[in-house]
């Protein structure tokens, strides 16, 4: 029997983590763990939005911070989720907006925003439509409703001008909606540009490989050996049921204080190599 197994591009994540630095990578890893939103997607989004700079400020809009939240979206997200994560809703408008420069808070709000957008896109586009990295990024960029309009218009006429459909967004983001010569980009060109920037396929951010059952058993055993001494919190006696093998998305408290964690999880990508597979299975279900 042949199963599809999703693998993280862990070498790419290691490179992104090196660029981001420990604090930013840790903030994104924690946001992913608390919300279940794909770690790799959030890392790539932060790279595209701000080059991992928590203090980044757009020149043509109010977008600020690691995930470039505009003022209205940030205020909306803090109003919805601030209490859940201890993000202050009190103080002056300036003080609330200044929290966009805190990578931990920005990552949490970006993850919640992505989760919201995924649900909205799926509801509007139907279960037959895969919502991948590019679709999620469009929703972050245009809002969920704007992304739905974009995707439906692209499906109907991929050669339609994006600037004609989104004139306000085009004025604030000329490099997205117009090429170097000043020609308006088509919807298909804009979509492809976002997909390329995220270095993702149109519907997924992981590599999918077809692996035979015997190879799966070898791979699972090798993974266990690679992480010696890690308590297993799922039944692994029957490795034929590979879906039940993977470690839970959130590591158990005992592991967080173990020597293994201190030795191997200096960079959060190391721990995400195991746990992200569980995320991807649930997130893409």
| Catalytic site includes residue 216 | no
Neighbours of 59 (CB within 10 A): 6
What are the angstrom distances between the C-alpha of 280 and each of 29, 264, 275, 285?
14, 22, 9, 8
Instruction: Please tell me the distance from the alpha carbon of residue 85 to that of residue 196, in angstroms, as a whole number.
Output: 33
Q: How far apart are CA 64 and CA 61, in angstroms?
A: 9
How buried is 259 (Cβ within 10 angstroms: 0-12 exposed, 13-18 middle, 19+ buried)? exposed
Of 12, 29, 49, 76, which is the active-site residue?
Answer: 49
Q: Cα separation of 94 and 212, whole Å? A: 56
Farthest CA pair distance, the chain: 61
Known catalytic residues are: 49
């Amino acid at each position: 029997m042949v199963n599809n197994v999703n693998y993280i591009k862990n070498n790419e994540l290691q490179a992104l983590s090196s660029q981001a630095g420990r604090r930013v990578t840790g903030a994104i890893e924690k946001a992913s763990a608390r919300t279940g939103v794909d770690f790799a997607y959030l890392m790539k989004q932060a790279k595209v939005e701000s080059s991992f700079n928590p203090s980044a400020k757009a020149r043509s809009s109010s977008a600020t911070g690691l995930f470039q939240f505009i003022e209205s979206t940030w205020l909306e997200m803090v109003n919805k989720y601030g209490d859940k994560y201890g993000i202050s809703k009190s103080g002056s408008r300036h003080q609330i907006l200044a929290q966009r420069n805190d990578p931990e808070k920005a990552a949490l709000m970006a993850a919640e925003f992505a989760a919201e957008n995924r649900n909205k896109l799926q509801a509007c586009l139907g279960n037959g439509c895969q919502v991948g990295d590019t679709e999620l990024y469009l929703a972050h960029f245009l809002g969920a409703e704007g992304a739905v309009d974009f995707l439906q218009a692209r499906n109907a006429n991929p050669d339609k001008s994006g600037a004609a459909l989104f004139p306000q967004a085009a004025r604030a983001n000329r490099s997205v909606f117009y090429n170097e010569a000043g020609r308006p980009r088509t919807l298909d060109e804009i979509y492809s540009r976002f997909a390329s920037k995220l270095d993702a396929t149109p519907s997924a951010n992981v590599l999918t490989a077809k692996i035979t059952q015997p190879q799966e058993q070898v791979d699972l055993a090798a993974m266990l050996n690679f992480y010696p001494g890690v308590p297993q919190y799922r039944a692994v006696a029957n490795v034929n049921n590979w879906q039940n093998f993977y470690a839970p998305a959130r590591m158990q408290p005992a592991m967080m204080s173990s020597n293994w964690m201190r030795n191997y999880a200096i960079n959060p990508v190391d721990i995400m190599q195991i746990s992200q597979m569980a995320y991807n299975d649930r997130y893409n279900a």
